C-alpha cells in the first residue's frame, strides 16, 4: 500500500518507517524540517516537507502522495520536561491533535484514503474510579485537574474525529508512557534525578502507570496500518503503581529509595495534577490489542526495558 506518515522523524516515526518499508509498503514521510530529508531517505521513505498546521500545504502534500493509509504520529515534545505547567508544555502537541488532525482528515477524504491510524495516550486520562487497570470500554476522566484539561480535551477530540469520520476506518492507539531511544524518559538527566533522590514519591505513590518501549509502539502502528478499528491500549504486560516502578529504578541505579512527601506538600511544590498522576492515575490493559491486532510487546515489562537502558548508561559512564 501507499502510506503517508505524518511525524515520520519523531521517536515512533523513525522506527515505524523501516517496518512499513520492510513489509513492502511505499512510504511518504512528512517532516517540517528540510534538514531531515536525508534521514527520511535513509529510512526508506520519500521525503515530504510541510508544516502540519498549514492546511493548504498538507492538502497538497497528501493529495500528491495518494496514500491508501495515513499514519498520524505528530507531536511536539521539545522541552516537555516541565510537567508543573502541563497544559502550557503540551499546548503545541494539542494543536497537532486538533488542528493537525483536522487537516489530515480533510486531506484523506480529498484523496480517497481508506484508513487512518493516530497516536493517542493511555494512562492518566482514564477515570479515577474502580479498578487500577482499565480497558478501552472504561470511561475517561470527566473531571481532571485544571492543568490536564486542555490535553485531555485534545485527546478526546483526536480519538473521536479519527474513529467517526465518514469513509475512513479509524484507529487510535493509546500508547503507554514511552521509554527508550529519543523519548527522554530514562535518559541520563532523568536517571540522575532519581539517583540523587530529586524525584520524590508523592503521597503513597498509589497511582498506576502503564509503560511502553518505543519499538513496541512502532510495531503496533505497523500492524494497525493493515488491521483493526477503533481505540486500542498499546501498553506492556506489567502495569505498576508509582511506588513500585520508582523504587525499582532507584534500586537498579544502586541509589537509596526515593524520598516521600505528603500529598499536601506535593500540591504546593508540583501542583494538584502531578499529585493526581502520582496517587490516583489508572493503567491500561493490552488484551484487546493482542486479540485484534495480533500485537504483543517485545518488552513485556518495564523492568526488563529499564534494566537494559540503565545497564547501558552505567557501562558508558564507567
Q: Which three cell numbers stand for residue 298?
A: 517485545
Quote the pLDDT of residue 318.
Answer: 66
Quote the pLDDT of residue 80.
Answer: 54
H-run or E-run covering 57? helix 55-65
pLDDT tens for residues 248-274?
Answer: 999 999 999 999 999 999 999 899 999
DSSP 121-146: E-STTB-SSS-SEE-TTSPBPSS--H
> How many angstroms separate the CA atoms of 189 and 185, rounded?
9
Quote the pLDDT of residue 86.
Answer: 83
pLDDT in tens, the chain (318 residues): 999 999 999 999 999 999 999 999 999 999 999 999 999 999 999 999 999 999 999 999 999 999 999 999 999 876 555 677 788 888 999 999 999 999 999 999 999 999 999 999 998 999 999 999 999 999 999 999 999 999 999 999 999 999 999 999 999 999 999 999 888 777 788 889 999 999 999 999 999 999 999 999 999 999 999 999 999 999 999 999 999 999 999 999 999 999 999 999 999 989 999 999 999 999 999 999 999 999 999 999 999 999 999 998 878 776
Strands, E assignment, the chain: 2-6, 26-31, 46-49, 69-72, 115-121, 133-134, 169-175, 177-179, 201-202, 208-209, 211-213, 230-234, 240-241, 260-261, 283-284
Indicate the pTM of the whole model. Answer: 0.95
Amino acid at each position: 500500500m501507499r502510506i503517508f506518515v505524518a511525524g515520520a522523524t519523531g521517536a515512533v516515526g523513525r522506527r515505524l518507517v523501516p517496518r512499513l518499508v520492510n513489509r513492502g509498503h511505499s512510504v511518504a514521510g512528512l517532516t517540517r524540517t528540510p534538514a531531515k530529508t536525508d534521514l527520511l531517505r535513509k529510512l526508506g521513505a520519500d521525503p515530504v516537507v510541510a508544516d502540519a498546521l498549514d492546511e493548504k500545504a498538507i492538502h497538497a502534500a497528501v493529495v500528491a502522495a495518494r496514500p491508501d493509509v495515513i499514519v498520524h504520529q505528530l507531536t511536539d515534545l521539545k522541552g516537555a520536561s516541565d510537567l508543573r505547567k502541563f497544559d502550557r508544555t503540551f499546548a503545541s502537541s494539542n494543536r497537532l491533535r486538533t488542528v493537525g488532525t483536522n487537516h489530515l482528515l480533510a486531506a484523506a477524504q480529498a484523496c480517497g484514503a481508506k484508513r487512518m491510524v493516530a497516536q493517542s495516550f493511555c494512562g492518566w486520562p482514564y477515570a479515577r474510579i474502580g479498578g487500577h487497570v482499565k480497558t478501552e470500554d472504561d470511561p475517561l476522566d470527566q473531571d481532571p485537574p485544571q492543568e490536564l484539561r486542555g490535553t485531555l480535551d485534545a485527546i478526546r477530540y483526536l480519538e473521536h474525529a479519527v474513529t467517526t469520520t465518514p469513509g475512513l476506518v479509524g484507529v487510535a492507539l493509546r500508547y503507554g508512557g514511552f521509554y527508550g531511544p529519543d523519548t527522554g524518559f530514562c535518559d541520563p538527566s532523568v536517571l540522575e534525578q532519581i539517583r540523587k533522590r530529586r524525584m520524590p514519591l508523592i503521597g503513597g505513590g498509589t497511582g498506576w502507570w502503564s509503560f511502553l518501549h518505543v519499538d513496541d509502539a512502532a510495531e503496533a502502528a505497523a500492524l494497525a496500518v493493515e488491521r483493526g478499528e477503533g481505540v486500542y491500549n498499546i501498553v506492556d504486560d506489567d502495569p505498576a503503581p508509582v511506588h513500585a516502578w520508582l523504587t525499582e529504578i532507584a534500586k537498579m541505579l544502586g541509589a537509596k529509595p526515593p524520598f516521600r512527601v505528603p500529598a499536601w506538600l506535593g500540591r504546593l511544590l508540583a501542583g494538584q495534577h502531578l499529585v493526581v498522576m502520582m496517587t490516583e492515575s489508572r493503567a491500561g490493559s493490552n488484551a484487546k490489542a493482542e486479540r485484534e491486532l495480533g500485537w504483543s510487546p517485545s518488552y513485556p515489562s518495564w523492568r526488563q526495558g529499564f534494566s537494559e537502558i540503565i545497564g547501558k548508561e552505567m557501562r558508558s559512564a564507567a
